[in-house]
Chain A
Amino acid sequence: MIDVNAYLGHFAFRQLRHSTAAALLRLMDRTGIQRAVVSSAASITYRNAQSGNEEVAAEVKPHRERLTPFAVLNPAYAGWQDDLKICHRDFGMKGLRLYPRWHNYRLTDTSCLELVNAATELRWPISIPLRVEDRRQQSWLVDVPDVDQEEMAALVKAAPKASFILLNGSGYVSSPLGRKGSGLPANYAVEISSLAAVLANELGQLLETLGPDRLVFGTGMPFHYPDPALLKLEVLEAAEEVKDKIRSRNAARLLGL
């Protein structure tokens, strides 16, 4: 099983109890997750996101067979081109994670498109959490909305050669991202941790509209308990072959494993 949505390090507004590699690996062992894509939780609020990438690079070094690091870069901040090179060449990172709302830029800004194109040149997948925290529980210091799905759709259209993984999102079926025939390129996959798997069953709906190759397993740990995502996959009414794709095969393809 591959989790495309995991994190290491501290988060500015809440204690994460399993924020080290050792603690995350214990959670993974308990839940049968073999590999996780990790990025810095601290980089979400660091002004200089690269400091968080340095922390993650050091933390994952002894565990590269199980923890795959992604770089958090801010295209609105000085020196991202240099940071990208260092994350790729020196840290051996394998993908990009973007926080347009927390880092105060839009996905369709020229600088963001430059970063997306540069990551695509490196054959890096680009993962974008549409939400970090539920807005109702945010600190009095911040008011950060979710990433707008129309804006997300504009980016996937503007960068058809890129490979995107959308994290912590729901409500896709009401946006072009989840609709059949929306004219968008098939260059994005949807991670399942925030999708309903019973009642409205958005997970089942997306299986119909996007197909089994474009859904990937993720948990959001250690922000989240991993178990809700596991439970969603267990109750999903789909063939075992389809579940295998969601559990690991689709992610392995996207990560080049």
Chain B
Amino acid sequence: MFTRRSFARACLAVGGASASPSQSGGVRVIDAHTHLYHHSRASWSEDDRKLIEAADKLGIGQLCCSMLPPRRPATPESFHECNRWTAEVMRRFPERILGYCFVNPGYTREALAEIRRAVEQDGFIGIKLYNDYRADEPVVWPIVELAIELRVPILHHAGHTSWLPQPQPRISDAGHLAELARRYPEAMIICAHICGGGDWEWSIKALRNAPSVYLDTSGSVPDEGVIEMAVRVLGAARLLFATDLSMTASLGRLRGADLSEADRNKILGANMQQILNRRRGA
């Protein structure tokens, strides 16, 4: 088992070992929430390569990625294009890049067809929803029902701020996700970036009584104590290590958090592996 210091050394020691996905304490480290670069960015190919290089350097074995179009709201053409590019990167880096299928739930028919094709044919591991609709709006329900059928998680963008105006008028917060989970307790819902979604104490408390909702630990905010509070209130079994491209901040907070090694290993990869296994066991 790993201590905080030995965990860091082990992660760093694998630098350059891109051929073999990294392990920590017998657990493969899985980034449950990150992104690939849209192809409107000139350097997208190089940036994707840098993502793999950074994962190698930090000892992250697998990266669960989505790609979002830069223009909102997303159209069927724009989300299909993103998912097609994501599938290409999955093939370019097999076993390193796992794909979330991004859709706009407002296009019900196209979104459902896109998800089924991505999961069943291209091997995507989950669904990514952003801020096109709030999680408590009925338009989201068919997406959740399909996720349950396919046994894949939904990674949902989320944030909670206490002041107005809200720059994302339809952003969901942890309370909306808890409400969705009460309607669909069998769904695997992941509340995104506790460290990049505003008031993290509010968000953790809002999820306390929604036991089927997972929380990802990503984001750029390095506040001390967030992981310990999340473990205390939600339990380590509901936390998923993630970076959302804030890689050193996110790995550093897991390294610094005062946790048992069993809990650290759950968060770093074992919990996400269990989620992935549900689809594979389908």
B partners with A: yes
Are A193's CB and B162's CB within 8 A? no
**Cβ contact within 8 Å between A227 and B253:** yes
The answer to whether A227 touches B247 (Cβ under 8 A) is no
Residue of B nearest to A136 (CB): B198
A16 to B253 alpha-carbon distance, docked (Å): 15
The answer on a CB contact under 8 Å between B163 and A198 is no
Cβ of B161 within 8 Å of any chain A Cβ, yes or no, is yes
A4 to chain B minimum Cβ distance, whole angstroms, is 16
- Chain B residues positioned under 8 Å from A234 (CB to CB): 8, 12
List the one stretch of B123-131, B148-156, B184-192, B220-228 in contact with chain A: B220-228
Q: Are B58 and A228 in contact (CB under 8 A)?
A: no
A-B contact count (CB 8 A): 96
Stretch at the interface among A153-161, A215-223, A241-249: A215-223
Question: Are B162 and A17 touching (Cβ within 8 A)?
Answer: no
A197: which B residues are within 8 A, CB to CB? 248
A100–B179 CA distance with the chains assembled, in angstroms: 41
Contact stretch, chosen from B47-55, B80-88, B109-117, B132-140: B47-55
Over the window 240-275 of chain B, the binary record of Cβ atoms lying under 8 Å from chain A Cβ atoms (1 yes, 0 no) is 000001111101110111000000000000000000
Q: Which residues of A contact B53 (CB under 8 A)?
A: 198
- A36 to B224 CA separation, bound complex (whole angstroms): 17
CB atoms of A199 and B257 under 8 A apart: no
Q: How large is the interface on B (under 10, 10 to 19, 20 to 34, 35 or more residues)?
A: 35 or more
Q: Contacts A140-B162, A199-B51, A228-B253; is A16 near B224 (CB within 8 Å)?
A: yes
Which residues from chain A contact B162 at a C-beta distance below 8 Å?
138-140
Interface residues of A in 1-46 (CB under 8 A from B): 14-18, 30-31
Q: How distant is the Cα of A137 from the Cα of B57 in the complex, in angstroms? A: 31
Instruction: Give the CA-CA distance A16 to B201 in the complex, in Å.
Output: 13
Task: Give B197-220 as 1s and 0s: 1 = Cβ < 8 Å from A's Cβ atoms.
Answer: 111110000000000000000001
A221-B255 contact given A136-B161, A198-B57, A199-B47, CB 8 Å threshold: no
User: Does any Cβ of A come within 8 Å of B159's Cβ?
Assistant: yes
With beta carbons under 8 angstroms apart, the residue of B12, B200, B224, B246 that contacts A235 is B12
Q: Which residue of B lies closest to A228 (CB)?
A: B252
What is the CB-to-nearest-CB distance from A16 to chain B, in angstroms, rounded to a whole number? 7
Say whether A225 contacts B247, CB under 8 Å: no
The listed residue with most B CB atoms (<10 A of its CB), out of A137, A197, A199, is A137
A197 vs B252: C-alpha distance in the bound complex, in angstroms?
12
Q: Are A137 and B221 in contact (CB under 8 A)?
A: yes
Whether B222 pairs with A15 at a CB distance below 8 angstroms is no
Q: Which residues of B contact A18 (CB under 8 A)?
A: 224
Taking A137-B199, A198-B54 as contacts, is the C-beta distance between A232 and B248 under 8 angstroms? yes
Contacts of B221 in A (CB 8 A): 134, 137
| Residues of chain B lying within 8 A (CB to CB) of residue A64 | none
Q: How many residues of A contact B (CB 8 A)?
A: 35
Considering the chains assembled together, what is the distance between the CA atoms of A222 and B222 in angstroms? 10
Quick check: is A229 within 8 A (CB to CB) of the other chain?
A: yes
CB neighbours (8 Å) of B222 from chain A are 193, 220, 224-225, 228
Cβ-based interface call for A231 (8 A) = yes
Q: Which of A14, A15, A137, A231 contacts B198 (CB 8 A)?
A: A137
Residues of B within 8 Å of A17, CB to CB, are 224-225, 228
Contacts of A136 in B (CB 8 A): 159, 161, 197-199
In the complex, how many angstroms separate the beta carbon of B82 from the nearest chain A beta carbon?
A: 19
Q: B221: nearest residue on chain A (CB-CB)?
A: A134
With a 10 A CB-CB cut-off, give which of B51, B53, B58 has the most chain A CB atoms.
Answer: B58
- Whether A225 pairs with B253 at a CB distance below 8 angstroms is yes
Considering the chains assembled together, what is the distance between the CA atoms of A138 and B47 in angstroms?
Answer: 32
The answer for the CA separation of A198 and B228 in the assembled complex, in Å, is: 26
Nearest chain-A residue to B253 (Cβ)? A225
Q: Which residues of the partner chain B approach A140 to less than 8 Å between Cβ atoms?
A: 162-163
Q: 1/0 per position for A95-137, CB-CB distance to B under 8 A?
A: 0000000000000000000000000000000000000001011
Taken together as a complex, chains A and B put the C-alpha atoms of A235 and B223 apart, in Å, by: 21
A143 within 8 A of B: yes
Q: List 15 A-B contacts (CB under 8 A).
A: A31-B256, A134-B220, A136-B197, A137-B200, A193-B222, A197-B248, A198-B50, A199-B47, A223-B223, A229-B252, A230-B8, A231-B8, A231-B248, A234-B8, A234-B12
Using A198-B53, A199-B50, A224-B224 as known contacts, list a sample of 4 further A-B pairs with CB atoms less than 8 Å apart, ordered by residue number in A. A16-B225, A225-B252, A227-B252, A232-B248
